[in-house]
Structure formats: structure tokens, C-alpha cells
């Protein structure tokens, strides 16, 4: 008796740019159109029993990911949302430099997505001998064929949650990790998917403290109104005892800014008030990032502030977000 026919899984693959599709140019490696289609077709032909029907769409202007902007995060999410009912899963080919930022931005925008969204790229162009690109793409295919419903990053043998990923190595194939992730994937209930587009026009500040920055940072914060501020503090969420900086942060909150306190450490937890140096941020009602990265916090601000304006609702939403890590 013939085996029951099973329709192939429909996968949409979006090539946004990045090293994976680069070729040499007079100025160095640069994204080039048309490179990926034949090599992906060849890879799929060698594995004809995968049960995948893949559609590749190349963005007209492939971007080096160092040029990615919040508007690009929105565009990718919109493209996935628009094709949501036509495809069973999605692969995003992306440059590595800001891949973690895009992954986090997609995680927040594609809330409760019940289909796999896998982001990958490579450290060396696909056409370069010994490239890591084919293996990463193969891993992405495995990710979209899995039963996991989430935004994921596929890189160097690892499938990682998009909201917890960081780029930790500029050179090695194992460029990405989720160093502060506790190992639990978000629980997704089928049928609860909601698209929450971010607002790329929001005035968001994401900044890292360093000794000596206090005066100019205070001046910068006082010079304009920020909808949100993600500030990378020391250790478990501590800031210097500096009058101008504290005054600027307090003024920002009074003007309506939502502040998230992130740690510069890649592991560990923000615990506002554990030390006296962190108590001020607790006093002005800054949100503690817990174990979430600055990439996750910043992109959450772009997304959450596009949907809500009252701080009580935002605080409740943030509490839910921090429980994911």
C-alpha cells in the first residue's frame, strides 16, 4: 500500500544581507544579489527527502547588518506577518553584527508566534571554501522542521532563543551564545499569535556607563525627551553616586521616560537595591532587566511603547517579559 502523501512544509526564506551572501568587491566583502539561490537550490536537491518547499526572497538592497535600523526590524516582522498564513515556517538570512538585535526585535513583535522563525547567517561567505554557511543553513532547516514555536537563532550547531542571544565572538564560527538563558523555552499556545509592530520613530536611548561618562551623559539626557532609556549599569544594577547623572535620570522619569536597568555583565541578575549604589534606580521606579540583555531591553522599548503609554501596563508587560529568561 503506498505511503500516505504528506504535503511539503512551506518555508519562506528572506535574505536581508550579510556575510552569507557576500562576494569580494574593491572595498572588501559586500552583499551581492543572486549568489544564494543556486547554492540553496543545490543543497535542497541533495536532500530531496526533506519534505520542504522553500521560497527564497532577496531584499532589493541587501544590507550589511551594521547598517540595520529599527525600520528594518519592522520591515522583516511585517513581511513575516503578511506571509503568516501562506507558510509553515520562516528563515531569515542576516548579517552577524546586529543579528542579536534583530532576533530580539522579532521576538517581541511576533508575540506568541506558533510557527518557527529561525535567523541565521555565517562568519564567512557561502562561496568561500570551508564556509560555515552551509552548516548554519542546514541547522536553520532543522529548526523550521522542529516542533518549537519561537523566534530562534541557528548558529554553529546551536538553536538559541532569539530574545536571549548575544554575539560574543567577532571571528570564531561559534559566534553566538545565550549566556544568561536559564534553558527554558517560552511556552506558546497555538492560536494566540499577535503582531505588535514596533515604532521606529520613538526616541530611545541605549547607553553603557563607564567611569567618567557622568557629566556628558547627564547633559545628553537633559537635552531631549526620550520615550525610553536602556542603561547598562555596573554589576547587579549599580550606578555612580553622581549628582548630575542622578538628577538627569530623575528628570527623565518625571518627563515620562521609561528606564530599564541592564547589567553590563553577560551573566547574572540585576537586583536593584541589593547594594546602596543601585537603590537610586529603584527609588525612581526604573525597571530591572533581571537576566535580559540590553538588546532585548532596547527592542522591547521600541515595541512596548508603540502599544502602551501608561506605565502601570508597561510594568506588568515587563514583568512577563523578564520571566522568559
Mean pLDDT of 38-58: 87
Residue 4 lies in a domain: no
Give the end of a domain, one of 127, 160, 195: 195
Residue 16 lies in a domain: yes
Q: Is the pLDDT of residue 31 over 90?
A: no
Same domain assignment for residues 165 and 230: no
Same domain assignment for residues 36 and 159: yes
The whole-angstrom separation of Cα 323 and Cα 155 is: 24
Confidence of residue 6 (pLDDT cuts 50, 70, 90): low
- DSSP code at position 27: T
Confidence of residue 1 (pLDDT cuts 50, 70, 90): very low
Confidence of residue 47 (pLDDT cuts 50, 70, 90): confident
81 is in an annotated binding site: no
Cβ contact 194:106 at 8 Å: no
Q: Give the burial class of 134: count Cβ atoms within 10 A of its Cβ; 0-12 exposed, 13-18 middle, 19 or more buried.
A: middle
CATH of the domain at 286: 3.40.50.40
Residue 51 lies in a domain: yes
Domain coverage including residue 158: 9-195
Residue 2 lies in a domain: no
Same domain assignment for residues 85 and 176: yes
Residue 128 lies in a domain: yes
Point out the least confidently predicted range of 15-19, 50-54, 73-77, 179-183: 50-54
**In this predicted model, which residue has the larger pLDDT, 166 or 274?**
166
Confidence of residue 220 (pLDDT cuts 50, 70, 90): very high
Mean pLDDT of 103-127: 96
Same domain assignment for residues 209 and 150: no
Same domain assignment for residues 24 and 132: yes
Same domain assignment for residues 134 and 222: no
Q: How many residues does the chain have?
A: 325
Confidence of residue 104 (pLDDT cuts 50, 70, 90): very high
Cβ contact 287:271 at 8 Å: no
Confidence of residue 30 (pLDDT cuts 50, 70, 90): confident
The whole-angstrom separation of Cα 207 and Cα 187 is: 31
User: Rounded mean pLDDT of the chain?
Assistant: 93
310 is in an annotated binding site: no
Confidence of residue 49 (pLDDT cuts 50, 70, 90): low
Same domain assignment for residues 111 and 17: yes
Residue 246 lies in a domain: yes
Give the end of a domain, one of 195, 221, 251: 195
Residue 219 lies in a domain: yes
The whole-angstrom separation of Cα 42 and Cα 145 is: 19
- What pLDDT is recorded for position 4? 61
Same domain assignment for residues 298 and 176: no
96 is in an annotated binding site: yes
Q: Is the pLDDT of residue 192 over 50?
A: yes
Mean pLDDT of 118-143: 95
Q: Is the pLDDT of residue 284 over 60?
A: yes
Same domain assignment for residues 301 and 236: yes
Q: Is the pLDDT of residue 139 over 60?
A: yes
Residue 3 lies in a domain: no
Q: What total number of domains does the chain contain?
A: 2
For residue range 53-92, what is the model confidence (pLDDT) as tens digits?
Answer: 999 999 988 888 999 999 999 999 999 999 999 999 999 9
CATH of the domain at 141: 3.40.50.1170
Same domain assignment for residues 190 and 278: no
List, by residue number, the catalytic residues.
19, 96
- What pLDDT is recorded for position 63? 86
- 3-state SS string over 90-156? EEEECCCCCHHHHHHHHHHHEECCCCCEEEECCCCCCCCCCCCHHHHHHHHHHHHHCCCCCEEEEEC
Query: pTM for the full model?
Result: 0.94
Give the end of a domain, one of 195, 223, 246: 195
Same domain assignment for residues 61 and 40: yes
Same domain assignment for residues 154 and 253: no
Half-sphere exposure of 218 (CA within 13 A, CB side): 15
Amino acid at each position: 500500500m503506498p505511503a500516505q502523501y504528506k504535503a511539503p512544509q512551506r518555508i519562506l526564506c528572506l535574505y536581508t544581507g550579510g556575510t552569507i551572501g557576500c562576494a569580494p568587491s574593491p572595498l572588501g566583502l559586500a552583499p551581492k544579489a543572486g549568489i544564494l539561490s543556486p547554492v540553496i537550490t543545490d543543497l535542497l536537491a541533495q536532500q530531496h527527502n526533506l519534505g520542504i518547499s522553500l521560497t527564497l526572497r532577496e531584499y532589493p538592497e541587501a544590507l550589511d547588518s551594521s547598517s540595520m535600523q529599527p525600520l528594518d526590524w519592522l520591515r522583516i516582522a511585517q513581511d513575516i506577518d503578511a506571509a503568516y498564513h501562506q507558510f509553515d515556517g520562516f528563515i531569515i538570512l542576516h548579517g552577524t553584527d546586529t543579528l542579536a538585535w534583530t532576533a530580539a526585535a522579532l521576538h517581541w513583535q511576533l508575540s506568541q508566534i506558533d510557527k518557527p522563525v529561525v535567523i541565521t547567517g555565517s562568519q564567512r561567505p557561502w562561496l568561500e571554501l570551508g564556509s560555515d554557511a552551509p552548516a548554519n543553513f542546514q541547522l536553520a532547516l532543522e529548526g523550521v522542521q522542529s516542533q518549537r514555536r519561537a523566534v530562534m537563532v541557528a548558529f554553529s550547531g546551536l538553536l538559541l532563543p532569539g530574545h536571549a542571544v548575544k554575539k560574543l565572538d567577532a571571528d570564531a564560527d561559534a559566534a553566538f551564545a545565550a549566556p544568561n538563558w536559564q534553558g527554558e523555552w517560552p511556552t506558546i499556545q497555538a492560536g494566540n499569535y499577535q503582531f505588535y509592530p514596533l515604532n521606529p520613530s520613538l526616541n530611545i536611548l541605549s547607553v553603557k556607563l563607564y567611569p567618567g561618562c557622568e557629566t556628558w551623559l547627564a547633559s545628553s539626557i537633559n537635552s531631549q525627551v526620550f520615550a525610553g532609556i536602556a542603561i547598562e549599569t555596573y554589576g547587579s544594577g549599580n550606578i555612580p553616586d553622581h549628582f548630575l547623572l542622578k538628577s538627569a535620570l530623575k528628570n527623565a522619569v518625571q518627563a515620562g521616560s521609561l528606564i530599564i536597568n541592564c547589567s553590563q555583565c553577560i551573566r547574572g541578575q540585576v537586583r536593584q537595591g541589593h547594594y546602596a549604589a543601585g537603590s537610586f534606580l529603584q527609588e525612581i521606579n526604573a525597571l530591572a532587566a533581571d537576566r535580559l540583555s540590553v538588546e532585548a531591553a532596547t527592542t522591547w522599548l521600541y515595541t512596548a511603547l508603540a502599544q502602551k503609554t501608561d506605565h502601570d501596563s508597561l510594568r506588568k508587560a515587563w514583568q512577563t517579559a523578564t520571566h522568559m529568561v
